[in-house]
Each structure stands twice: as structure tokens, then as C-alpha cells.
Amino acid sequence: MEEPTKHISDKFIIAGKIRDRYYLGFHSALEYYGSAYSHYNEVYITILPENRFSSFKYQNLNFKPIFTKDISFGIETKKYRTTEIKVSSKERTFVDCVDRPNYAGGWEECLKSLSVLSGLDFNKITDILGMYNKKNLYAKVGFVLELLRERSVFYEHLSDETLDKIKAHKPKTPKYLERSGWSTLNKDWNLYIMEEFVEYL
């Protein structure tokens, strides 16, 4: 079992009591796994739209709902202190953060955190991509995985075969990783990449 970093306090216990159907995701999951580059005072509780609640502040912590279409696939129940909490698996955390990097602290925070997220099962990442079934997300995840394989020891075991499986679903027309500043087309992934992107790592 992963040992969350000690500075987390009890914010995960509080988050786990807000809704019955939820999971801790995005940057909060990165913090749980001890791979977050920075410590945040925001806690992201991922829920279905019908289980919405208003963001609120408790002490110095901000609890925010994030809406998703599925809260069961790639979600794990973890023993945490005296209770249990629901957290996105490492693989779903990876895909979710690449899909919506604004909830992972932005691209720089996201990449630096993912670069030390160890123990990923890349076959499970392809399964989660299939659940979302978004061609631009296939391209984004594939590009980030390939980049991390070059930069991080935790991704060295990523095979060309897995990347090829992901690449088979890339969009037919070019998409943008993010519409921000000057971008160059990466033909392998049919994805426009910001010039400064690789400098984030």
C-alpha cells in the first residue's frame, strides 16, 4: 500500500465524507500517491453531475467538485488512517490529468508530477482511454507517455507496442494539445505542441 506523504493532514478524510459516490482525483490523487511536485490547499472530489455540491472552504483548505461521466472504472478503495477513501488508480490519474491538466496544476506541474508517478500498468492506461473514447485524448496521452519515456526512469519499460496501440486511435486531422502561443505539429501524434512544452520537465 502506498504511504501518502505526511503533510496531507486529514483533508482526504474530510473529502471522503462529502459524498458516498466519488473519488479523489487529479492533483489530489497525485498528492495521495506522493508524486505531486507541489502541495496544494485544494482538494478535488470527482463526482457525477447529479451529485453536485458547492465548493467550500474549511480551515485553509478548499474542497471543489469535479464532474465526470464515470466514477467506477479505474477507482480503488484505499485504507487511509482509520478509514477508507476512494482514489483514482495511478493509471486513471495519469489519463485524467493529461485530459484536464488545469486540475493538475497546469501543464508544468502536471508533467513534473507524472514524471515521478511510479508503478504504472500501461495496458490499464489503454483500457481507460477506451472508456473515454476520445481521439484527441489518445494523442495527448501517447505524446506525453513517449516524452516521459525519454525523460523519466519510471517510464523506461513503456514498449513501442503499447505506443503503437495508442497511436492507432489518434485523430485523422491535427488537434491542439492546448491552444496557447506558438505551436508546432508533431506528425507522429497529429498534435500541435506548444514550443515551451518539453521545457517543463
* Domain range list for the chain: 6-200
pLDDT class of 131 with cuts at 50, 70, 90? very high
DSSP tag of 57: E
Antiparallel, parallel or unpaired: β 191-194 and 183-186 = antiparallel
pLDDT class of 2 with cuts at 50, 70, 90? low
Residue-averaged pLDDT of the chain: 94
| Predicted TM-score of the model (pTM) | 0.93
Using alpha carbons, list the distances in angstroms from residue 194 to 21, 111, 117, 135: 37, 14, 23, 19
